[in-house]
Structures are given as structure tokens and as C-alpha cells.
Amino acid sequence: MIMKFCKYFLMLVALLALVSCGKEPDPAGGGGGSDTPKDWTISGIVKGNDGALLEGVVVSDGQYCVKTDKQGRYYLPSNLSRGEHEYVMVSTPSGYSAPVQDGHATFWKWLKDCSKDTNGKYVADFTLEKISNPNRYKVLMFGDPQPRKRSASLDKFAYSSLDMCEDMYLDMKEYVAANKSYPVYGIGLGDIVHQDLTLLAQYKNGMSITGVTTYNVIGNHDQTNKTLPDSESWKPFAEQMGPVNYSFDLGKVHYLMLDNMISPGNGPADDNCATGLTDEIWEWVKNDLAHVSFDTQLMVCAHSPMMMTESGSNRTGSHLNDLRYLLSKYKKAYVWAGHTHTTFNYVDTADPVIETHTVSRVTGTLWNNEYLGANGI
């Protein structure tokens, strides 16, 4: 089954020993805000499971990004009166990982579940798990599993997408068993389900048996109601899977996970989305990368290709040129996506540090082949 697995997964082996030092981020690339804001509303401590207080860890509410001090404490100036900031999340640093639940890294806390101090301010502490030899690991990139219920009319004359996802889980489990020397991470590149969020529970249960620590981005089919404005359409997915814009470090590489599917806000429910970044998401991207040295390699993951299209032309969309300019400042930027159900890879001729890597549908071509993508990969 491992041979079949290799046909429809792209594997990135990260055996990295890069130096993460050098130029400080250009202020033009965004600002992370003060690490000790005057009017903070959320605070907490980030520590390791060995008790070490972790300095310099980036914590965010989806808008502001601040770093922990020498005591591992952070202070966030979230504007809670606007009702937009419902969570606090940590960008896990190299050498540590977030706790894993149902096969997924849990790097966030919902404010509704957090306690408050005597001044009525939220308290959210994080305990991260120390990992050995953090520069050696493997990553499985997979896109568009899109399970449907077996009773769905489409599967009656095609095949059951649930069965295909079950094959995916077994393949992953076998791969982990055959690669015990390295931890294995998985990144689901969107369309985790197809218009039915009740299937997310089965997805999490399936990933929990694999031994893979998984991160996901949101796809257009994960936004189940396109009549909602973009500021709301991601929330039903996030309630089960966590924030849809976040970051983390593996080894010396910074991973940036983005919601680049802008809901039309005027239906119908199964309508597509525009590719781009909203103003709010773009501001968060700048704030996050303001804490990342330009000598760092980036893995930027989203559902729809953002830099190059399948035809080899530059992608246009809200803030995509801004993103391209910012990414071009870094040592290397690998921009990953799914969405097209085909595999293609490009080096940006205008900005050679940027590479586009798009993977085919992990559960095969709809209606034709359950293991191969539309272009036979």
C-alpha cells in the first residue's frame, strides 16, 4: 500500500540545518506591535512541558502578534468590544510542538473557555511539548480529500469518497510505520470535506490513527454557506478545526497557513470563492512575518494557488502582489496549494526565490479514477 501512497502524495523531506539569523524584518513588511502593550486585555505564560519558561514565542489573536518575555509571559491588546477576536494562539517555535488531539496540533484556545484574572482580563497559558532533534522531520502535503456521505447521490454512480479517505488514513499509517526515524507531519491543503462539516469528526478520527501530526487550511468547500460574508463564513469550520490563519516553526522553516478563499457573501451555498487575502488577513500576515528573519525559509500553505496559475501566468487577486513582494525578501518561499485537482510546479521567473507547488486531489479524479489525479499523477 505504500507504493500506492507514493502515487498521490507529494512528500517534502525536511533535513534542514539553516541559520536563522541576519537581517531584521523591514518595517515596510509590517509590524508586530509592542511586545508589552499598554492596554492589554489577554495575557498568559508559555512554557515547555519540562517547566522551562519560553522567551521569544509569538502569540496572536489573529490580528496582533507579540512575543513572550524572559518569564515566558505575553500581553495582547485585543479589542474585545468588537467581538472579532475569539481566540488566542501560539506560533509554536522550533524544538517544541503543540499538544496533539485527534491527530491534530492544538495551538489555540477559545476565549470563551479561558479564565479571567481579578481585573476581568483573560488568562490563556500554553504548555508546549519539547521535541528532540527538531531539524529532522518529514512532511506530507495532501489536498482535497473531500469526503461525501455514502448515501450521497454522486457516489452512487462514481465511488464512495469515504472509502477513499479510509485508504488515505491506512496509507499514512503504513508510511509512518516505515519511517520511524523521523516525526511525520501532515498539511491538509483545504477542501477537507465537501459541503458537509459533520464529516470533520470522521476526518479527525481517521487522522488520529495515522501517527501524523496534522495541520489544515480551509478550502472553498469547507466554507459551507457562501451567503455569509467572508468575516463569518470560516467560523463553522474553525469551531471544529481551530483558527484558519496561523503559523508555526518546524526546524529552521517558518510555516504560514492562510485562508485565501474569499467568500462571495451572496450565495449559493456551493458557489466558489475568489482567490486572495482580505485586508484583515493581510495585516495579520505582515504582523506575523515581522517576527521572522529574512534569512528564513518559508512554507506558505493555502487552498488555491496564489503565485502562479496552472497555465504558468501570475495569479491576480486581493493582496497577492503585496504577498509576492514580501515573500521575495526571504531566503526561499515555497507556496503550496491544492484546489485545481492537478499537480504543477513553477519557479517564479520574476522572483526566483518563490516556488509554486500545487498537488492533485488526494482521493483521485472525480468520476474517473480513485487513485490518480486529473493529470495522471
Give the Cβ contact number of residue 345 at 10 Å: 12
The single-letter code of the amino acid at 35 is D
Q: Which mean pLDDT values do the consecutive 10-residue runs of the chain (377 residues) have?
A: 43 38 39 61 96 96 95 92 79 96 96 91 96 92 85 57 81 94 95 91 94 96 84 92 97 97 76 89 97 97 92 88 96 95 87 93 70 63
Residue 363 φ then ψ, to 5°: -105, 25
List the beta bridge partners of residue 105.
Answer: 100
pLDDT score recorded for residue 149: 73
Closest CA to 369 of 169, 159, 149: 159
pLDDT score recorded for residue 22: 35
pLDDT score recorded for residue 38: 73
Burial of 210 (0-12, 13-18, 19+ CB in 10 A): buried
pLDDT score recorded for residue 322: 97
Give the Cβ contact number of residue 250 at 10 Å: 23
pLDDT score recorded for residue 19: 32
What's the rounded Cα separation, in Å, for the pair 250 and 182?
12
First to last CA, the chain: 16
Predicted TM-score (pTM) of the model is 0.89
Q: Decide if 363 contacts 168 (C-beta within 8 A).
A: yes
Cis amide linkage into residue 268, ω under 30° from 0 = yes
